[in-house]
Amino acid sequence: MANQINKTDVLKTSLILLVLISSIIFLYSPHFKTKLGGYDVMELYREAQNRNTFKKIIDYKYFSQGGGPTSAYFNPVILLVWRQMATNYDKNHFFYHLLCTLIHIINTMIVFFLLKAFIKNNLFSFLATLSFTIYYLNFLTVGWIASGINQGLTIFLVLSALLSVIKYFQTKNTFFYFLSLLSFFLGTFTKEIAIFTIPILLAYYIIIQREKIFKFIKPDLILLPYLILSLPIILITFARMNGSAVITSFGGINFGAHMLYRFLDYVNYMITIIPASHIAKITLAMFILFLLPFLIYYGLRDKKLLFLTIWLALSIAIFIFSNFRDIYDLGRYLYLPSIAWFAMLYYIASNIKNLKTKIISSFFLINYTIVLNLFLILTRK
């Protein structure tokens, strides 16, 4: 009997994954026509040509003359990937797009298994993953080779670290724990932002896994290896100082308040998907601010909702200080937050007890997260 249930489960999961992968292949295929070009892409391409030895790639004192993305980060993992691509395929854009799409497919699969840990209903976790897959801003991110590889690869390692540690808590198999550590360590050398896996993990551990007592217990040590593994990138960041994306030249008393507005900007952009008017932004900000006490109130009663809210807030907070350009140029920074966002929306919908309300809210949610995005993708210029 148990075997049969297991078989049906595997069949269902495979079917869901098949639908997700085929939707990516179908919808993302127009990207393959875009040629290799643009400032960041060519900067990374040139950098991959210049740094032709492994020693040059891991040289943390090396500063790119171009002043582009490679000078901002110490990212040997990304450069190794670019080096391989540039050596094997030169400027053949097809393979670069293939890589971006493959990374997105793998991320989608990880997101599905990750969300299954929070949303028990298979249909809702599928819908949440599909929303992430065809989210219009993610569609643009994957289509742009520089962000498709850089952002996609970083988020892949961050998600792998999260999924593995959740699997470790479920199975107590140390293999998953070491896999998580490895993903995290590689992630820190992909982009510095991967270091923010630690607060997300900490939130997961404290809210969902930890016993509720106010003293040190042995399982708390589980986070220590992550802190130790983050030391190399912290030291390198300090050694580079001016060449870091984390340490900006800005400062001052207004900094914190400014970051709050940036945060609201990101949340607004995530909700509206396309640039919104001034009034729409203010209305949404009002809505978010008044909703906050409710989220905290219900979050204190529901651990998973609390974690998803904190995950969303943290994953937006990661990016608010790393680039000060116009918000509408930075859709790629919503690749990670979009996961927690859709997980939260569908988690709330799946937990509504009244069937009528559940059906109506799911209907609106599907229209907003799937149909609208499909429309935007299919009608883009």
Residue 59 in 3-state DSSP? coil
Residue 167 C-beta: closest distance to other proteins, Å: 37
Tell me the two tokens of residue 296. 């905290």
Do 74 and 233 meet the contact criterion of CB atoms below 8 Å apart? Answer: yes
Between CA 187 and CA 157 the distance in angstroms is 5
Tell me the two tokens of residue 106. 């793998």
Do 332 and 151 meet the contact criterion of CB atoms below 8 Å apart? Answer: yes
Interface with other proteins (CB under 8 A), residue total 23
Residue 212 C-beta: closest distance to other proteins, Å: 15
Q: Binding string, 245-274, against other proteins, x = CB under 8 A?
A: ----xx-x-xx-xx-xxx-x----------
Stretch that binds other proteins, among 19-27, 28-36, 306-314, 319-327 (CB under 8 A): 319-327
Nearer to other proteins, 100 or 318 (CB): 318
Residue 249 C-beta: closest distance to other proteins, Å: 6
Nearer to other proteins, 4 or 242 (CB): 242
Determine the length of the chain. 381
Nearer to other proteins, 178 or 255 (CB): 255
Stretch that binds other proteins, among 43-51, 105-113, 288-296, 356-364 (CB under 8 A): 288-296
Q: What is the DSSP letter of 327?
A: G
Helix (H) or strand (E) holding 294: helix 278-301
Q: Which of 55, 215, 325, 381 binds other proteins (CB under 8 A)?
A: 325
**Residue 301 within binding range of other proteins, rule CB under 8 A:** no
Residue 49 C-beta: closest distance to other proteins, Å: 24
Q: Binding string, 108-127, against other proteins, x = CB under 8 A?
A: --------------------
Residue 303 C-beta: closest distance to other proteins, Å: 19
Residue 255 C-beta: closest distance to other proteins, Å: 8
- Residue for token pair 């998803």: 308
Q: Which of 4, 212, 329, 355 binds other proteins (CB under 8 A)?
A: 329
Q: Which of 211, 293, 354, 356 binds other proteins (CB under 8 A)?
A: 293
Tell me the two tokens of residue 96. 């670069």
Residue 360 C-beta: closest distance to other proteins, Å: 28
Helix (H) or strand (E) holding 157: helix 145-171
Between CA 220 and CA 13 the distance in angstroms is 33
Cα dist. 117→74, 113, 166, 203, 307 in Å?
33, 7, 8, 15, 12
Nearer to other proteins, 51 or 262 (CB): 262
Residue 103 C-beta: closest distance to other proteins, Å: 27
Long-range own/partner contacts, residues 361-366 (CB < 8 A, 24 or more apart): 362/124, 362/127, 365/127, 366/127
Between CA 126 and CA 103 the distance in angstroms is 19
Residue 11 in 3-state DSSP? helix
Q: Binding string, 204-243, against other proteins, x = CB under 8 A?
A: ----------------------------------------
> 112: Cβ–Cβ under 8 A, 6 or more apart, which residues?
16, 17, 20, 125, 126, 129
Do 122 and 72 meet the contact criterion of CB atoms below 8 Å apart? Answer: no
Tell me the two tokens of residue 339. 């996961």
Nearer to other proteins, 198 or 246 (CB): 246
Residue 86 C-beta: closest distance to other proteins, Å: 27
For other proteins, the binding residues (CB under 8 A) are 249-250, 252, 254-255, 257-258, 260-262, 264, 278, 281-282, 285-286, 289-290, 293, 324-326, 329
